[in-house]
Structure formats: structure tokens, C-alpha cells
Structure 1
Amino acid sequence: MKKTLLATAIAGAMAASGAQAATVYNQDGTKLDIYGNIQLAYTDIDNADGESEDGIGDNGTTFGFAAEHVIYDGLTGYLKLEFDDIKADEMATATDDDDAGDTAYIGLKGNFGDVRLGSYDQLIDDWIQDPLTNNEYFDASDSTGSRHGHGDGSDQQTDKITYTSPSFGGLQFAVGTQYKGDTDSFDSRADQGSSNASFFGGAKYTVGAFSIAAVYDNLDNVVYTDANGDVDSVGDQYGITAQYTIDTLRLAVKAERFVSDADSDSDAVDGDFYAQDTNFYGVSARYGYGMGDVYAAYQYVDVGANDFADEVEQSVEDEQDRDETYNEVILGATYNISDAMYTWAEVAMYDQENDEDDGFGVGVTYLF
């Protein structure tokens, strides 16, 4: 349900700019910042049976380090290490099973562009999905999410290298790969047993207050296990997002598609993978009113049945179940208590059976 939190993005931006983040060393071209946030929220969300479940919990508390040093004029080395799964409500850090520290990378940047190696968010997340909804708790679903997609996106965040070009008259591009070696598991369900490199890439064009971006990811290292125990990649991701800013109003529109490589529903194992091609069409708006933001998003999700082989028999009921549409609506607002502290409230409707995942939340975030 929750991707990269807005507060986490803000904290990262502060670390990069030095705003509010604590600079513990800055001498001879080397700089080290410490930053973070504490996020707590009360949520009330319907489960698969339509029953309300509420509680107070951590909402993505983060602690991180950002460092850089000038190698020579025009070339800078940098790193980022971020612990994203600190449980503020439990006063304890996460265990190894909780994916703590899932942002960790080093890189070089200069006039030639930027090269990054390590674990970080997917390009399609940063350029396509986040501009639509990068909210506090409730986001629109996408081709990386478990609601209509193929997982939670964690399989795509590790072992990557990405090159991002400088801007050429407003045009920028990025290409990268995720490499999994012979000893790496491709996901929690299976080990492919051989090394493999995926491909992802995208382009972005910015002119004035308008920008448009397109991204493709072949998901070659995100795999599923079929009923026969065979392992294969789940499919492909495509997306395009346009944004336009008018003063403090930002408008965004997104079209995204997940194309499944599965041959039939029998390839799904324990519900981990859904063998449907799925389209996502969304619009959103965010307006800064001075003391915070108000925002809204609408998304139309078209889950279509694949063109399976003739030998795969399907009932009329099964065909209808796998060919559905959903209307998602998310509303929210933030209020700044101070430069470092704000509150928020959100409500979401996902149009699922028994109103699953519908709910509301309120919370508070402190940034440093």
C-alpha cells in the first residue's frame, strides 16, 4: 500500500541540500550529513472480510547518512545509507527479515552525468509512479504493487547500477541493470540458479513548468514459480507521466501498463503472482495553501484477462473474475506545525471486494 513516503523523500532532499540535516563534518571538500524523521500514524482500514482494523503504528521512520567528497573539479563521489524500517512505535530497530537499510548506494557525479551502484528505488517508481501519488500512507496502486501487480517492489531495489545523463536542453535519459549472480536468489520463492542482468531505462523532457517522462523495465530478475516448479520472469512494465506546475498547484497524469508473461492462472502460486495484464490511468493534483498541502488523486485500473493458449480451459465466471475494472480515489491534506514538524490526514477508496484496503489515517512527522 505504501511506497516511498513523502517525508522520506523530503528527508533525502534535506540531506542533499544541507537544510535542517545535521552536518557533522565539512572540510577539505568532504561533507557528511545525518538526517532522519519519526513518523507515527493512526489508521483504520478494512480487511479482506470487510472488517475494520485500526491501530497506532510507525509510518516509515527513517535514519540516514549522506556523504560526498570532491575528487577533483567536476567530479564528486557520494554515498547514501538509509535505514527505513525503524519501528518508532516499538522503540526498537528492525531485524534482518524486515528489509532494514534498503537504501544503500555509492556513486560518481559530474559534468558527464551520474553513475550509481547499490540498492535504491526503481526508476519507474521515481519518474512514473511517485509524481501521481507519493503520499503519507495511501497511494494509488501501480504495476509494482501487490494489489494488481506482481509483488511489493522489493525484488527490484537491490544490486543495481544506473547511469543518468545530464540535461541536454531539457532532455535527460537514464539506463540501468539489475545483476543477480549465481548465488543470488531472485526472490523469496525461488533461486534461478544462474547469473542474469535485467534492463531498465527511461527518458524525461522538461520545459519550463512542464515535464514528461517515460520508463520501461523488463523485470527480468523478478520471477515466479509455476505449478510445475519452473521459474520465469513475471513480465514487463511500461509507464508515462506528465506534470505541470502553476504557482503552488501541481497537476500530474499517468498511464502505466504491466504485461504478464504467465501462460495461465495455474502459474500463480499461493496468490503471490497474478497472471493478468493490467493498465493504470491516473490523474492527481496537489496545492500548497501556505501552511501545508491539499491533494487528491483518481485512478482507473483495468485488469484484463490474458490471451491464454487454447488448451487452457476457463469458465465464464473465471473470465469475468479476471477481467475487471476499479476506480480508486485518494484525498489528503497536511498542516505544518513548524519547519520540521507537520500533521496529515488521508482517506482512500480502492473499489475492492468487501471494501478491502479502504480506510483513513491521521499522523504526525518530525524531520531533522
Structure 2
Amino acid sequence: MKKTLLATAIAGAVALASTSASAATVYNQDGTKLDLYGNLQLVYAYTDSLGGDADGELTDNGSTLGVKGEHKINDDIVGYFKAEFEFNADESKGSNGGVNDGDQTYLGAKGSFGDARIGSWDQLVDDWVQDPLSNNEYFDLSDSSGQILKGDGSSQTREGNKLQYMSPVMSGMQFAVGTNFEGDAESENVTDSNQASFFAGGKYTVGAFSIAAVYDDLGQFDGTAEGTGSTGDIGEQYGLNAQYTVDALRISVKAERFDADDEDADVDYYGIGARYGYGMGDVYGAYQYVDAESNAYQYISADSDAGDGSDHSYNEFNLGVTYNISSAMYTYIEYAQYDRDGDDGDGAAVGIYYGF
């Protein structure tokens, strides 16, 4: 789940619009700029689990330290980079304390030609299709990317080794194309040969309305996995999102599909969400209908009736509200229900965020 500040930008709390907006510039000279930024996030979450009691924990929620920079190559082109690292704020002296993991890290160039980058960051379907509906603090709706991760792919394979070109906005239209590449020498490669995916998307904006579509052939998972006997493709991923913003209200709808190569293993997602800025924060919620075919075992394996040869459908929803304590700090409460057997995954959370 991504823990980023969202619709406060449209709600009027401009100072909280993004962590980068409050970054500290540590160097800015001769066309070169370097910024330091980050956030500290703590949450208490109480979550149900299949076959067990509801459990509560005080934990880190994605605390991040980041650095970004840019320099002027010529009058039209700017080179840039971004590197983010995560740490556990709740147990910083434990074995998992300190800066212990990477997040987004990439470099590129941008100008009137568009934006070209290489490195590791969120998938295009994540940014253009899933996030506008439900990119909450702790509880999100499920999506096709999560289905893929439960099956054959890690987030490292989904988000890393990426090359992408994104066009400038032309008469409201923008497009992006890219690839995820996994060489045969890389440990996270699920096959025994070089693999590369192809993904593409288009977005059109007119006034307060926008619509986006994304396709990913998930080609970095294709082929034969050495030692497993697995053959063929994992499948393909499709997504469509439309959103409308009026004053402090944003409404978003999506249709998303994991088109699995395995027979009767497709999963469809249809959702609607809204976020409203009430002046001192946001109130938000979303509903999603999930239709999983009988062999979508990666998705329904937590259910006691998984593998019974029947299709499964779920009604998911989440609710949340944030309250701005200051221009750099806010708190929130969230609730989520996923309609799983034994209330698996249902829960509530209260947390606090400080960004700089």
C-alpha cells in the first residue's frame, strides 16, 4: 500500500499536498538542485484473520527518507534522479531497524519531448487506474497487481528494472510505454532466460474529467521457470479508470482485469470511490465488486471453500477520515471490510503522519 498524501491538493490543504512539496533544498547552484525529504508514519491496526482471533499491532506504516536532484542539461532538457529508502519507526533499535529497504529509485530526463526514465517505481496501472480510486493510508481495496503478487511475481519483479517513456500532454492527451526487463543472471527472475514485458497506457483530460486505460502483458513472467516445471504465460493485466473533480470532491470509477493464462483463473474488479476535502482534512470511501473464477487459487486460497470448483465474488469497501494537525502533520482513522471467509482481512486503524 502506498502511504502518500492525496486529495488534500483538491481539498484546499495545499501545504499537505505531497511530501516532495515540503522538501528541504540542501543545494541549488549553477543549474543543479538537491532536495532532502521524508516522512515518519506510525499506525495501530486491528485486523481479523481466517481461523484466528483479531490481532492488533503498533507498527510502522512506510516511513521513508528520500533524496532527489536535478540539473539543467540545456535550455530544454533537465536530468533528474530520485532515491527513497524505508525504515521502521516503531522498532528502530531492533534487528529490522534503521534504513533497511529501498522504495522508488530512478533517473531520467524530461523536457518538451516528454519524460524518459529508468530504474524502479510503481507500475503504470497502479498510478493511473488503482490509486485514483483507493490509495489510502493503511487499508486499500484489492487489485489485479495484488493477485499477480500472490501468484508468480514479487514486487521487486513487478516494479524494478523498468524503462519508460511518457509523452507531454498534447491537447489533453498523454501516453506512456515501457518495459520491465529481467536478465537470466538476476536472482528474482522467475525463468531461466532473459524476459521483458511491454506495458502501455493512455490518458485524456478535459476540464475536470479524465479517463485512463493501461495494458501490461506481464512478459517478465513468461517462459519456463527452471526447476519448477511451470510453463506458459502468467497472463495479462488491463485497467480503465475515469474520474471527475468538482471543487473539493473527487469521484473515481474503475474496471480492472487479471486475464490469467490458466483456465478459469481470471479475476475482475469493478469499483467506485470518492474523496471530499472538508477544510481540515479529507473524508473518503470506496466500494468494489470482485469476481474471481474457480481456479483463481492465488486470490481465494484464504477461503475455507477454495478449490471447490465454484466461482467466487466479494463486496469490498473501506472508509476513512484524516485531520490536519498542522501543515506537516495529520492523523487518520480507517475501516475496511473484504467479505472473505471468517472476516479475513477486515479491520480498523488509527495512525499519524509527519512529513518534511
1:255-274 alignment, distance < 5 Å:
255-263=255-263
Structure 2: segments with no counterpart, 5+ residues = 9-15, 297-304
* Residue pair 1:146, 1:152 contacting (<8 A) in 2 also: no
Aligned to 2:235: 235
Residues 1:13 and 1:162: Cα distance change in structure 2 (over 3 Å) = farther
Aligned to 2:292: 303
Any idea what SS the aligned residue of 1:102 has?
Answer: strand
1:1-368 alignment, distance < 5 Å:
3-7=1-5, 13-15=18-20, 19-84=21-86, 86-92=87-93, 100-146=101-147, 150=151, 153-187=155-189, 190=190, 192-222=191-221, 229-263=229-263, 276-305=265-294, 321-368=309-356
* Residue pair 1:156, 1:222 contacting (<8 A) in 2 also: no
In structure 2, distance between residues paired with 1:94 and 1:364: 24
In the alignment, residue 6 of structure 1 is paired with which amino acid?
A: T
If the length of structure 1 is used for normalisation, what is the TM-score?
0.85
Any idea what SS the aligned residue of 2:186 has?
Answer: coil
Deviations 1:216-253 (A, max 9, x none): 01111136969962344311100000010010000000
* Residue pair 1:37, 1:61 contacting (<8 A) in 2 also: yes
Deviations 1:321-355 (A, max 9, x none): 54110000100000000000000000000000100
Count of paired positions: 338
* Residue pair 1:50, 1:356 contacting (<8 A) in 2 also: no
C-alpha RMSD of matched pairs (Å): 2.7
Residues 1:226 and 1:360: Cα distance change in structure 2 (over 3 Å) = farther
Residues 1:26 and 1:49: Cα distance change in structure 2 (over 3 Å) = same
Residues 1:238 and 1:222: Cα distance change in structure 2 (over 3 Å) = same
Residues 1:321 and 1:298: Cα distance change in structure 2 (over 3 Å) = farther
In structure 2, distance between residues paired with 1:154 and 1:181: 13
Residues 1:319 and 1:42: Cα distance change in structure 2 (over 3 Å) = closer
Deviates further, 326-335 or 219-228: 219-228
* Residue pair 2:19, 2:39 contacting (<8 A) in 1 also: no
Any idea what SS the aligned residue of 2:58 has?
Answer: strand
Report how far residue 5 of structure 1 moved: 1.5
Deviations 1:66-120 (A, max 9, x none): 1000111110000000013x00001159869x97113110000000000010011
Identity of aligned residues (%): 51
Report how far residue 173 of structure 1 moved: 0.2
In structure 2, distance between residues paired with 1:52 and 1:227: 38
In structure 1, distance between residues paired with 2:307 and 2:40: 46
Report how far residue 318 of structure 1 moved: 6.9
In structure 2, distance between residues paired with 1:318 and 1:363: 34
Residues 1:318 and 1:142: Cα distance change in structure 2 (over 3 Å) = closer
If the length of structure 2 is used for normalisation, what is the TM-score?
0.88
In structure 2, distance between residues paired with 1:347 and 1:128: 22
Report how far residue 306 of structure 1 moved: 6.0
Deviations 1:285-325 (A, max 9, x none): 00000000000100000002369xxxxxxxxx877554110
Structure of higher RCO (CA pairs closer than 8 Å, 6+ residues apart): 2
Q: Which runs of 4+ in 1 moved over 6 A?
A: 8-12, 93-96
Aligned to 2:12: none
Residues 1:94 and 1:82: Cα distance change in structure 2 (over 3 Å) = farther
Deviations 1:252-311 (A, max 9, x none): 000000011125xxxxxxxxxxx720000000000000000000100000002369xxxx
* Residue pair 2:7, 2:282 contacting (<8 A) in 1 also: no
In structure 2, distance between residues paired with 1:356 and 1:225: 31
Report how far residue 23 of structure 1 moved: 0.4
Deviates further, 231-240 or 296-305: 231-240
Report how far residue 186 of structure 1 moved: 4.2
Any idea what SS the aligned residue of 1:115 has?
Answer: strand
Report how far residue 179 of structure 1 moved: 1.1
